[in-house]
Structure 1
C-alpha cells in the first residue's frame, strides 16, 4: 500500500497578498482559483511536484463555525500562531536572500540545526510560519 501527500491547507486572510507571495516570490504555480459563497480557495504548487497542492483557504471556512470561532482564529493568525509548512530547497542561503530581497518577514536567518538540516524561516503575509530547509551532509 502506498500513501502520498496530495494537499495541505494554509489559512490566509487576503488571497491577493498571499498570491503575491506564494506565486511571485516563491515561484509556485497557480493551479486553481475558486470562489464559492463569498469565499475563495487558491491552489498553488511547485512545478517540480505536480501531485502536491497547497490550498490557500479562508480562515475557518467551516460552515458550522461561529462568529466567536472566527474571531479566535483571526486572533491566532494575527499573532502568527497557526502552523505553516516546511519547504525543501537545494540552496537555503539563496532561497533566503531571494525571499528577504522581496520583503519577506524574516523569522530566522539560515543556520545549521542540530537535527541535521540547514534552514531559515519567514512569515507569509497572513502570519503563517514557513521554513525552508536542506539536509546537511
Structure 2
C-alpha cells in the first residue's frame, strides 16, 4: 500500500435543474459549508464540503435489502447519497420542514446507521 493514497477526494457532482433550490437545500438546510462558487455565461457551480467520503459498492440484491431494512420497500436507484450526522431525527426534521419528502422515519439498521430522507 502506498504512503499516500492515489485518490485524495471523492467528489459527487449533482446536476440540478433547479440550481437555486438545490443550493438552498444542501447549503442552507443541511448546513454543508460552501468552499467555492463559480459562475460564467456557461453556468454555475458551487462546491460544498460534505466531510469524509467513501465509495460503497453493492450488488442489486444487497441494494434491495438495504431499502427493505431502511424504508420497507424498494426506493433507491443505482446511486444512493448518504450523510452521516450526529442526530438523525433532528437532521431529518430540518429538510422535512423545508419540503423534502420523508420516505421513512429514522430507523436503526443492523449496521448501526439510520435511514434517509429524499429531497
Alignment counterpart, residue 117 of structure 1, candidates 108, 112, 117: 112
Task: Return closer, same or farther for 1:119/1:96 CA change in 2, 3 Å cut-off.
Answer: same
Aligned positions, number: 93
Give the root-mean-square deviation of aligned CA atoms: 2.5
8 Å contact 1:35–1:41 — kept in the other structure?
yes
Q: What are the ranges of 5 or more consecutive residues in structure 1 without an aligned counterpart?
A: 53-79, 125-137
**1:96-135 alignment, distance < 5 Å:** 96-114=92-110, 116-124=111-119
Alpha-carbon distance in structure 1 between the residues aligned to 2:78 and 2:28 = 23
Q: Which has the higher contact order (CA 8 A, sep 6+)?
A: 1
TM-score of the pair, normalised by structure 1:
0.56
Q: What are the ranges of 5 or more consecutive residues in structure 2 without an aligned counterpart?
A: 54-75
Alpha-carbon distance in structure 2 between the residues aligned to 1:21 and 1:88 = 16
Task: Return closer, same or farther for 1:84/1:18 CA change in 2, 3 Å cut-off.
Answer: farther
Give CA-to-partner distance per residue, 1:16-53, whole Å, 9 cap, x none.
0111101110011222222345222111114xx4x87x
Alpha-carbon distance in structure 2 between the residues aligned to 1:37 and 1:82 = 32
TM-score of the pair, normalised by structure 2:
0.62
SS in 2 for 1:111: coil
